[in-house]
């Protein structure tokens, strides 16, 4: 497989050598009123009204547009306060246009009005598009853009769409893995180059079948040469202070685009839990455990991104991107104070204090090489990608527990664990796009991915000051997975109808070997993932649509890992190497009214859904967190989405969903249980603009989620209220911001589990009530747009925390 991927890359790289001859256009710009050179003016070449190439003038007034194929073009040169210069030309050789004088536009200067473009929603056949290009949202960070996207819910810095965690893409390539990594990455990414965010609830065939919904961030392509950079910093005060700072650097010259980003985060986060567990013998309570848990987490995290694009000519380009997440310091201290009331023997009551000190060192390196070839026919394109991931994680844990027993002397226990996980991912992908006509399009592609994970865990019990290997809780686990995929897709539009159908097939081969149990788990299966979309324009203002897709949820590597991590002597988490993939079928019908209101009904059937279940071992008074397949999970509901301006300075996004979640599972003695509940979530996002130059903006966001079902448990209602203010300074070169998050502290919640022989309650208070102050400064050519993107493979996303 490695040889095939390497050969594929060499083949496509060779194609670039046969690119056609190209030319350049140069000139010098001066002002008519002062005869001084004009820097940072926009110079673009258009062919049939479409921008082909672009540049910006330097401090000397010189501009250079390179890599131009022969043909007829229109040159447009524009600069604020001057009339646009237009010239038609035929390019057959290098052209020097000499000195070009831009005329003062006195009429425009006398009557300058500043307009504030509003974000908009647009329904495409297979997705909902939130357009923000040219709006004030582009002056935020990319995470803030996602938070403000209609239909997206953010709870404790975790994204959610329709009761599922979406997979984040940038320009159709997946980004990093865990929720915390995605948050750190996008929070440090400026949104100035974001064109739109696509919410894809039923992904088409070209996307990997893994996962549920998709958030695709579409970045603008850069046309202007020059240098651009920004520095930024944020200070956040919660229970403890947090810091974040970074720098973005971008340079484009000739055939090269180079982007570099560095981001550093220093966090200390608090979390409190109040837990009550009732252990049962049939229906009789045998003991009650009341625990107060305080958890503090420290982390120092570095993110480095590097993107290099080389454009051979108009038809061939080669790109490299590298993304490194380095976590040299991650520490979590957990203090558990528990009082145990034995309901059967009074003298057996006791209390305990457990201290768990956990340290982690991790790096995650992703490398991509992309090749794109554009054919003579407009829109016909062939692209190839090779991806490599190197993921290395090392964990150390030290746990001590002091016991005070009513009828016996006090005593203590202690143990340590040391674990390593090393994962390598190699994948290759080819995609082909062909516009058959102005109203029809064909796509096809193939992908091969190989995942190799090696893990080991050693636990030592400390007895009389001596470490003794615990062979029952030590293990070695090797996991290999190969995925072979191919897809085809066809789209056709008529006057009032649109249709898109696709088929994706994926062959999966898995082998997992556990050293301690000497067990080998193998899976070999093929699944077909069809998708279909139908849209009908019933009138000028009404559009009716329906769609369907079939998806798969493969277990994460950690879920498959059979290692047992003890938090205390009486609680642990473990994986399940026999987990099966979950298959999801999702149906949706909707109506779009006047490009403003969207009403959708949906139904989702998830067979063998994967949950981390919290289970009581009533015989041994132990809490277990175990990844498990349940029989089925069903989710259906009605959504309402809208985005509209109330006034010229106030626009509103409103989303509301009424839904029913139902989970069916079997626990002990083959007793089947179904948990079902109707729930509601509503979001209201208000955006305000102030001052004559519109340099002051505000956002007031409100979120409410009623109590709902999550696996075996019911989670209480939650709310989230935030207020942010942002002011631009110095001709938008600088931005200061103030954000108040979770003003009402409404993200704290209670999780209750009561059925059969399970009876527990968990109250959780995350450190989400914060005040944040931020500053950003842009320098260089602030008109410039970057080639920034972050890519990772579909398989990387399963390396979850």
Q: Residue 70 belongs to a domain with what CATH number? A: 2.60.40.10
Mean of the per-residue pLDDT values of the chain: 86
pLDDT at 740 over 90: yes
- Is pLDDT of 190 > 80? no
Give the separation between CA 786 and CA 305, rounded to whole angstroms: 13
Q: Please say which residue of 45, 75, 110 terminates a domain.
A: 110
Model pLDDT, residue 764: 93
Specify whether 387 is located in the same domain as 496: yes
Last residue of a domain, one of 219, 251, 279: 219
d(CA 358, CA 398): 7
Closest CA to 31 of 96, 112, 111, 105: 105
CA separation for the pair 192, 220 (Å, rounded): 9
pLDDT at 544 over 90: yes
- 117 band by pLDDT with thresholds 50, 70 and 90: low
Does the residue 115 lie in any domain?
no
Indicate whether 443 pLDDT > 70. Answer: yes
- Can you give the CATH number for the domain in which 338 is found? 2.40.170.20
CA triple 262-268-272, angle to 5 deg:
140
What is the pLDDT, as a whole number, of residue 787? 47
Structure tokens at 686: 């208000």
Cα distance between residue 616 and residue 283, in whole Å: 14
Q: Find how far residue 113's CA is from the centre of its chain.
A: 37
| Mean pLDDT, residues 784-790 | 46
d(CA 635, CA 676): 10
> What CATH code is carried by the domain that includes residue 129?
2.170.130.10
End-to-end CA distance of the chain: 29
Residue 163: domain span = 120-219
Q: Could you tell me the pLDDT band of residue 178, with boundaries at 50, 70 and 90?
A: low
Q: What is the mean pLDDT of residues 463-489?
A: 92
Same domain, 70 and 169: no
> Is the pLDDT score of 222 beyond 60?
no
Given pLDDT bands bounded at 50, 70 and 90, which one contains residue 120? confident
Q: Which of 43-47, 308-312, 502-506 has the lowest mean pLDDT?
A: 43-47
Rounded to whole angstroms, how far apart are CA atoms 383 and 339? 62
Across 604-612, average pLDDT = 91
What's the predicted TM-score (pTM) here? 0.81
In angstroms, what CA-CA distances link 50 with 75, 89, 220, 378, 511?
11, 15, 15, 11, 51
Regarding whether 584 and 551 lie in a shared domain, the answer is yes
Answer yes or no: are the C-beta atoms of 684 and 699 closer than 8 Å. Answer: no
Q: Is 557 strand, coil or helix?
A: helix
739 assigned to some structural domain: yes
Whether residue 156 is found in the same domain as residue 26: no
pLDDT band at 760 (very low <50, low <70, confident <90, very high): very high
Choosing from 219, 252, 269, the residue where a domain stops is 219
- Residues 430/445, Cβ–Cβ less than 8 Å: yes
Least confident of 155-159, 260-264, 633-637: 155-159
State how many domains the chain has: 3
Residues 594, 668, single domain; the answer is: yes
Residue 784, pLDDT > 70, answer no
Same domain, 534 and 554: yes
Tell me, yes or no, whether 57 and 183 share the same domain: no
Q: Is pLDDT of 584 > 60?
A: yes
Residue 531 has pLDDT above 80, yes or no: yes
Q: Which two tokens stand for residue 689?
A: 């603009």
Residue 559 makes CB contacts below 8 A (sequence gap 6+) with: 575, 576, 579, 610, 612, 627
At residue 589 the predicted structure's pLDDT band, cuts being 50, 70 and 90, is very high
Which pLDDT score, from 0 to 100, does residue 362 have? 92
**How far apart are the C-alpha atoms of 350 and 404, rounded to whole Å?**
6
Q: Is the pLDDT of residue 5 over 50?
A: no
Judge whether 233 lies within some domain. Answer: yes
> Are 384 and 523 contained in the same domain?
yes
Half-sphere exposure of 599 (CA within 13 A, CB side): 6
For residues 76 and 135, state if they share a domain: no
Give the model's confidence band at 275: pLDDT under 50 very low, under 70 low, under 90 confident, else very high.
very high
CA distance 37 to 268: 51
Beta strand ranges found along 515-579 (DSSP E): 519-537, 542-553, 564-568, 571-574
């Amino acid at each position: 497989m490695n040889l095939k991927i390497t050969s594929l890359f060499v083949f496509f790289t060779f194609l670039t050598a046969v690119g056609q001859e190209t030319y350049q256009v140069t000139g010098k710009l001066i002002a008519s009123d002062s005869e001084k050179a004009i820097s940072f003016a926009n110079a673009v070449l258009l062919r049939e009204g479409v921008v082909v190439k672009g540049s910006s003038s330097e401090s000397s007034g010189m501009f250079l547009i390179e890599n131009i194929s022969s043909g007829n073009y229109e040159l447009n040169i524009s600069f604020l306060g001057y009339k646009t210069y237009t010239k038609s030309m035929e390019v057959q050789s290098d052209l020097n246009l000499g000195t070009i004088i831009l005329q003062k536009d006195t009429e425009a200067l006398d009557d300058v009005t500043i307009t504030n473009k509003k974000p908009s929603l647009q329904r495409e056949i297979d997705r909902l598009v939130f357009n923000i290009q040219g709006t004030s949202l582009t002056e935020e960070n990319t995470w803030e853009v996602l938070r403000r996207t209609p239909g997206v819910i953010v709870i404790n810095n975790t994204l959610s769409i329709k009761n599922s965690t979406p997979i984040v893409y940038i320009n159709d390539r997946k980004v990093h893995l865990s929720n915390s990594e995605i948050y750190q990455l996008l929070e440090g990414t400026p949104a100035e180059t974001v064109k739109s965010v696509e919410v894809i609830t039923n992904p088409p065939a070209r996307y990997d079948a893994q996962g549920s919904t998709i958030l695709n961030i579409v970045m603008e392509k850069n046309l202007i040469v020059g240098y651009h950079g920004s520095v930024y910093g944020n200070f956040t005060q919660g229970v403890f202070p947090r810091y974040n700072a970074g720098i973005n650097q971008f340079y484009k010259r000739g055939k090269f685009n180079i982007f570099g980003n560095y981001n550093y985060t220093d966090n200390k986060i608090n979390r409190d839990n109040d837990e009550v567990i009732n252990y049962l013998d049939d229906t009789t309570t045998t003991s009650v455990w009341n625990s107060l848990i305080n958890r503090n987490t420290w982390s120092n995290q570095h993110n480095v991104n590097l993107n290099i694009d080389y454009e051979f000519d108009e038809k061939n380009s080669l790109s490299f991107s590298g993304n490194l997440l380095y976590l040299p310091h991650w520490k979590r201290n957990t203090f558990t104070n528990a009082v145990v009331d034995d309901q059967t023997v009074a003298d057996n009551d006791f209390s305990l204090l457990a201290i768990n000190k956990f340290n982690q060192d991790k790096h995650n390196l992703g490398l991509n090489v992309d090749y794109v070839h554009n054919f003579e026919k407009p829109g016909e394109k062939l692209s190839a990608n090779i991806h490599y991931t190197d993921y290395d994680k090392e964990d150390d844990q030290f746990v001590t527990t002091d016991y005070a027993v009513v009828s016996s002397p006090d005593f203590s226990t202690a143990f340590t664990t040391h674990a390593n996980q090393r994962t390598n991912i190699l994948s290759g992908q080819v995609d082909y796009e062909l516009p058959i006509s102005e109203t029809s399009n064909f796509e096809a592609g193939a992908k091969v991915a190989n995942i190799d994970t090696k893990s080991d865990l050693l636990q030592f019990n400390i007895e009389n000051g001596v470490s003794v290997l615990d062979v029952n809780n030590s293990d070695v686990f090797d996991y290999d997975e190969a995925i072979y995929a191919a897809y085809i897709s066809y789209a056709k539009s008529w006057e009032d109808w649109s249709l898109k159908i696709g088929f994706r097939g994926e062959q999966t081969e898995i082998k997992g070997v556990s050293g301690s149990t000497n067990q080998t788990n193998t899976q070999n299966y093929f699944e077909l993932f069809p998708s279909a979309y139908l849209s009908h324009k019933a009138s000028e203002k009404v559009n009716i649509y329906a769609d369907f897709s079939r998806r798969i949820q493969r277990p994460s590597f950690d879920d498959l890992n059979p290692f047992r991590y003890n938090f205390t002597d009486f609680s642990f988490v473990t994986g399940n190497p026999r987990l099966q993939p979950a298959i999801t079928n999702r149906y949706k019908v909707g109506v779009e009214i006047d490009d403003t209101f969207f009403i959708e009904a949906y139904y989702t059937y998830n067979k063998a859904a994967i949950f981390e279940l919290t289970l009581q071992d009533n015989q041994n008074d132990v809490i277990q967190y175990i990844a498990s397949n349940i029989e089925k999970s069903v989710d259906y509901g009605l959504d309402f989405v809208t985005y509209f301006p109330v006034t010229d300075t106030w626009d509103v996004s409103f989303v509301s969903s009424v839904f029913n979640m139902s989970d069916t599972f079997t626990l002990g003695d083959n007793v089947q249980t179904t948990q079902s509940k109707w729930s509601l979530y509503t979001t209201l996002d208000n955006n305000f603009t102030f001052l004559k130059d519109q340099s002051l903006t505000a956002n007031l966001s409100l979120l409410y989620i009623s109590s709902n079902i999550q696996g075996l448990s019911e989670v209480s209602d939650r709310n989230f209220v935030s207020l942010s203010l942002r002011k631009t300074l110095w001709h938008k070169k600088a931005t200061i911001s103030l954000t108040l998050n979770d003003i009402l502290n409404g993200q704290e919640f209670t999780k209750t589990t009561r059925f059969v022989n399970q009876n527990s309650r968990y109250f959780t208070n995350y450190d989400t009530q914060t005040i944040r102050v931020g500053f950003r400064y842009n320098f260089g050519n602030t008109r410039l747009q970057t080639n920034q993107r972050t890519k990772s493979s579909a398989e990387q996303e399963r390396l979850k925390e």
